[in-house]
Amino acid sequence: MLNGSCLCGAVAYEVEASLERIVHCHCRTCRKTHGAAFSSVTAVPREKFRWVRGQELLGAFESSPGKLRRFSTRCGSHITADRVAQPTVLLRLGCLDTSVVDRPQVHIWRSDAASWYDPKAQFAELPEGLA
């Protein structure tokens, strides 16, 4: 079972499925949507996904023909994306409340990646003097 919610907790979902694969998308649209170097997502079966609260607080933006990015209108958290005719829903992993252990990962659209992102410059904690 996967559970997730927005930053303020007003919108929440659950999925009766396990997390299969994590995809980090570096495309310009994902970067702009999330204000970050990339967006981390996983696809889950639509029939296993359900909103448990706050569905009336969802806003949606059609970022490309047929693709709806759903977000909390209260706190702005981007929660899911989907194409209505597709059998899956994309969960934005930043909103996942369920603990995740190591899973296979893939980075896509690296050709469109932010020029300022360096995947080699990583630290386990915030180094002193970096804030």
pLDDT of 73 higher than 80: yes
State the pTM of this model. 0.82
What separation in angstroms does the CA of 116 have from each of 34, 62, 121, 126? 16, 27, 11, 18
- Give the pLDDT band (50/70/90) at residue 70: very high
Please check whether residue 44 is in contact with residue 86, taking contact to mean a CB–CB distance below 8 angstroms: no
Which region, left, alpha or beta, applies to residue 29 given φ > 0 means left and ψ of -120 to 50 means alpha?
A: alpha
Which region, left, alpha or beta, applies to residue 24 given φ > 0 means left and ψ of -120 to 50 means alpha?
A: beta
**Average pLDDT of 121-126?**
72
Residue 120, both tokens: 């080699």
**Average pLDDT of 37-54?**
95
Nearest to residue 24, comparing CAs of 104, 97, 108?
Answer: 108
pLDDT of residue 9: 97
Domains recognised in the chain with CATH numbers: 2-112 (2.170.150.70)
**Average pLDDT of 51-79?**
95
Query: DSSP string spanning 24-43?
Result: EE--HHHHHHHTSS-EEEEE
